[in-house]
Amino acid sequence: MVLITPNFNFNGCCEEALNLYKKAFNAEIGCMLRYSEAQKEGYDKELSDEEKRYIYHAELNLGNQRIMMCDNMDVPFTTSFSLSLTVTFDTKEEVKQTYDILKEGSTTIYPLQSTTYSSSMVVFVDKFGFRWGLMTEQSER
């Protein structure tokens, strides 16, 4: 079996994002390790005290979906809009509630609206630079 797991990379704000996504999606933090906890064989670079507090590896569980997250210090951080995550909810109230939590500091691409295929849909780039689609699959709820 093949399993695809999204991996979000941050530039020092992973813990903030982890807590925001936990709240927005009513998710569970599966694990959270800081660079100060990394084994030397896995990461043996000189770090400042601030960098030692950055997230080395975290897992967020949204229902049965796992998302991995970290503060990646090995490559320059750039934002890309070529990939996005779409989260499908049962009701339009859930879409609105989640968007209300995530919309601060975001840039809306498609505003919260009803479409032919969805009773509620919104697409935006959150304050961390990740593109999200929140929607219902049906048009009646």
d(CA 15, CA 17): 5
Number of domains in the chain: 2
d(CA 79, CA 34): 23
Whether residues 60 and 15 fall in one domain: yes
Range of 35's domain?
Answer: 7-71
Whether residues 14 and 45 fall in one domain: yes
* Cβ count near 14 (within 10 Å): 23
Give the domain CATH number at 110.
Answer: 3.30.720.110
Residue 141: per-residue pLDDT? 53
CA dihedral 58, 39, 2, 24 (to 10 degrees): 0
- For the entire predicted model, the pTM comes to 0.91
Select the more confidently predicted residue: 47 or 29. 29
d(CA 26, CA 31): 16
Residue 140: per-residue pLDDT? 62
**Residue 129 included in any domain:** yes
78 — pLDDT class (breaks 50, 70, 90): confident
Q: Render the burial of 86-117: b for 16+ CB within 10 Å, e for the rest.
A: ebebeebebbeebbeebbeebeeeeebeeeee
Residue 105: per-residue pLDDT? 97
d(CA 129, CA 106): 8
Q: What is the mean pLDDT of residues 80-90?
A: 89
Select the more confidently predicted residue: 63 or 77. 63
